[in-house]
């Protein structure tokens, strides 16, 4: 089996579990939606504040959802000694990392599409210049999924895991929040050329995160 | 179980204290007040050295973590240095932010500004607070060391990314003066001396505290090991005593 097949195997497993259990769709998505609603309660929707800060609110909601998605992705490995199964499977640790990250990324893309629809509907935002918007979102999603997977395996099996992952993950992914928000702002304001540098930053982050994950996942899985 | 010989450590402590006293004298009286900022600028003699030492401390953490991960140089000493230095880094980063805030109030008119270097420093603080939280999680020493070393290196790689993205976002901080190649360090002689003296004094404080913290870490590990051994010994002795088992048919282990 080559790397791509192994990645597909692990990603397929995680997505199959999601298709059957529907935790992302029935718990994490409603969570993201209620966060958007809470933002509207906190910031008066009548004064146009929401429309101006919509990109930031969207990405904060995504970031909070990432925490849940990462937690879920490693909860499924704690039951029935699934982690030992993974370790003994003989799969390349880099492939396990890429597979789990890919599964998280796919779920995040679905989540982001639905939350973006929510932002358009609730906050009265019109999404123009789709090109940079989509590319920025994809690059940010890859970066978030890879970093999340890395910290997920770092904390799996530890006591205090639920509190540890946010405090480790959120500062590390702060450039993603910054870059993705700025890229979205530029795209929405009709200045797509301002979005491209941020797409670059997000891509660099994504590449580094994937590289670091492929290197570090094996040693971390051993200890998990 | 210290980094330095006890006598050297003690001497370093006294040298650090003396250097701080000299720094206070020069900082408060020796150096002239700033033309524009007046006496408030004197905070520079603490703020700038604290920031440099914070960077140094995180650099040491990353370096020792890399040495721990490298199989040929793997030794518990690197893990202890990494942890001790990260703690000091967090201390000096927090100090930098606090002193900067005190300085910003009279000069900028605000306690906090959303300036690139301020924001980067704040993220830096949180990155390593997370690292320290990870260190506190109970685990087998080897597993913990590996996990922490990887987390420290990720944090270290993340810092330029944070810095870069935040600087693009906003910049208001005064430009770097000492390392500006065009300016050629155009500061009053006594001021420059005081600043460099501050860096020296803080470096001594850092090395002294690192040595102390390292010793504490070793003692803690030692204590843990002894408690474990004692618990095992008690367990073995308890199992050997007849009548302690709840059921009579239990076979004594021995």
Full DSSP string of B80-112: HHHHHHHHHHHHHHHHHHHHHHHHHHHHHSSS-
For chain A, give percent helix, strand, coil, nearest 5: 90, 0, 10
Q: Is B160 an 8 Å CB contact of chain A? A: no
Q: Is B147 an 8 Å CB contact of chain A? A: yes
Number of helices (H), then strands (E), belonging to chain B: the values are 6, 0
Convert the pLDDT of each residue in B129-163 to its tens digit. 999 999 999 888 889 999 999 999 999 999 999 98
Compare CB distances from A158 to B137, B155, B164 and report the shortest one's residue. B137
Q: Distance (Å, rounded) from C-alpha B15 to C-alpha B205?
A: 9
On whether the CB atoms of residues B159 and B167 are closer than 8 A, the answer is: no
Convert the pLDDT of each residue in A154-174 to its tens digit. 998 888 888 899 999 999 999
Q: For B8-210, which CATH class?
A: mainly alpha
Confidence of residue B61 (pLDDT cuts 50, 70, 90): very high
Q: Is B155 an 8 Å CB contact of chain A? A: yes
Convert the pLDDT of each residue in B186-245 to its tens digit. 567 888 889 999 999 999 999 999 999 999 999 988 998 899 999 999 999 887 665 554
Cβ-Cβ contacts under 8 Å, A158 against chain B: 137, 139
Which tops the pLDDT comparison, A149 or B165? A149
- The share of chain B scoring above pLDDT 90, in percent, equals 56
Q: Print the domain residue range for A125.
A: 3-223
Residues B24-37: what's their mean pLDDT? 86
Domain residues of chain B, as ranges? 8-210
Q: Is B114 an 8 Å CB contact of chain A? A: no
Contact: B143, A159; criterion CB under 8 Å: no
Q: Looking at the 3D structure of chain A, how many domains does it have?
A: 1
ipTM value, please give it: 0.89
Contact: A219, B127; criterion CB under 8 Å: no
Vertex B253: Cα angle to B252 and B254 (nearest 5): 115
Please tell me the predicted confidence (pLDDT) of residue B152: 95
Compare CB distances from A175 to B134, B150, B162 and report the shortest one's residue. B162
Local structure of B34: helix, strand or coil: strand
Please tell me the predicted confidence (pLDDT) of residue B171: 56
Cβ-Cβ contacts under 8 Å, A205 against chain B: 161
Q: Distance (Å, rounded) from C-alpha B54 to C-alpha B85?
A: 9
Spell out the long-range contacts of B76-83 with Cβ–Cβ below 8 A and sequence spacing 24 or more: B76/B141, B76/B145, B76/B221, B78/B149, B79/B141, B79/B144, B79/B145, B79/B148, B79/B149, B80/B214, B80/B217, B80/B218, B80/B221, B81/B3, B81/B210, B81/B214, B82/B148, B82/B149, B82/B152, B83/B132, B83/B135, B83/B148, B83/B217
On whether the CB atoms of residues B135 and B148 are closer than 8 A, the answer is: yes
Q: pLDDT of chain A along its 224 residues, tens only?
A: 789 999 999 999 999 999 999 988 899 999 999 999 999 899 887 778 888 899 999 999 999 999 999 999 998 888 888 888 888 888 999 999 999 999 999 999 999 999 999 999 988 888 878 888 999 999 999 999 999 999 999 998 888 888 899 999 999 999 999 999 999 998 888 788 888 889 999 999 999 999 999 999 999 988 77
Q: State the DSSP string of A61-117.
A: HHHHHHHHHHHHHHHHHHGGGHHHHHHHT---HHHHHHHHHHHHHHHHHHHHHHHHH
Please tell me the predicted confidence (pLDDT) of residue B252: 52
Confidence of residue B110 (pLDDT cuts 50, 70, 90): confident
Preferred mutation among B125, B130, B170 to probe A, highest tally of A CBs within 10 A: B130
Preferred mutation among B161, B162, B166, B171 to probe A, highest tally of A CBs within 10 A: B161
């Amino acid at each position: 089996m080559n790397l791509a097949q192994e990645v597909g195997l692990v990603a397929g497993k995680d997505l199959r579990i999601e298709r059957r259990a529907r935790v992302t769709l029935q718990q994490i998505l409603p969570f993201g939606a209620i966060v958007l609603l809470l933002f509207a309660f906190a910031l008066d929707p009548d004064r146009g504040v929401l429309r101006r800060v919509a990109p930031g609110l969207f990405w904060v909601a995504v970031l909070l959802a990432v925490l849940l998605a990462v937690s879920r992705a490693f909860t499924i490995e704690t039951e029935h000694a699934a982690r030992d199964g993974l370790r003994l499977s003989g799969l390349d640790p880099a492939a396990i990392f890429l597979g789990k990250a890919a599964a998280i990324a796919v779920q995040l893309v679905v989540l982001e599409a639905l939350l973006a629809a929510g932002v358009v509907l609730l906050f009265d935002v019109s999404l123009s210049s789709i090109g940079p918007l989509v590319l920025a979102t994809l690059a940010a999603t890859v970066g978030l999924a890879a970093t999340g997977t890395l910290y997920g395996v770092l904390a799996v099996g530890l006591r205090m895991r639920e509190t540890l992952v946010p405090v480790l993950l959120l500062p590390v992914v702060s450039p993603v929040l910054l870059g993705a928000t700025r890229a979205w702002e530029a795209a929405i304001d009709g200045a797509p050329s301002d979005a491209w540098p941020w797409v670059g930053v997000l891509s660099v982050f994504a590449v580094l995160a994937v590289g670091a994950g492929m290197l570090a996942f094996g040693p971390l899985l051993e200890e998990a | 179980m210290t980094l330095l010989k006890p006598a050297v450590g003690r001497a370093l402590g006294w040298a650090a204290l003396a250097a701080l006293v000299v720094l206070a004298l020069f900082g408060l009286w020796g150096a002239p007040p700033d033309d524009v900022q007046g006496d408030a600028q004197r905070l520079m003699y603490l703020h700038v050295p604290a920031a440099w030492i914070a960077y140094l401390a995180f650099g040491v953490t990353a370096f020792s973590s890399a040495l721990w991960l490298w199989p040929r140089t793997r030794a518990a000493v690197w893990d202890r240095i990494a942890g001790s230095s990260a703690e000091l880094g967090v201390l000096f980063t927090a100090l930098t932010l606090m002193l900067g805030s005190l300085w910003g109030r009279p000069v900028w008119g605000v306690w906090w500004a959303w300036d690139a270097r301020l924001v980067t420093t704040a993220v830096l603080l949180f990155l390593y607070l997370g690292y320290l939280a990870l260190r506190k999680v109970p685990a087998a020493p080897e597993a913990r060391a590996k996990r922490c070393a990887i987390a420290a290196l990720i944090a270290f790689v993340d810092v330029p990314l944070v810095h870069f993205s935040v600087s693009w976002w906003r910049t208001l901080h005064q430009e770097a003066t000492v390392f500006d190649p065009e300016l050629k360090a155009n500061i009053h002689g006594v001021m420059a001396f005081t600043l460099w003296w501050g860096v020296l004094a803080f470096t001594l404080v850092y090395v002294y505290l690192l040595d102390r913290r390292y010793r504490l870490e070793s003692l803690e590990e030692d204590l843990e090991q002894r408690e474990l051994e004692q618990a095992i010994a008690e367990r073995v002795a308890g199992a050997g005593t007849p009548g302690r088992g709840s059921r009579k048919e239990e076979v004594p282990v021995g």
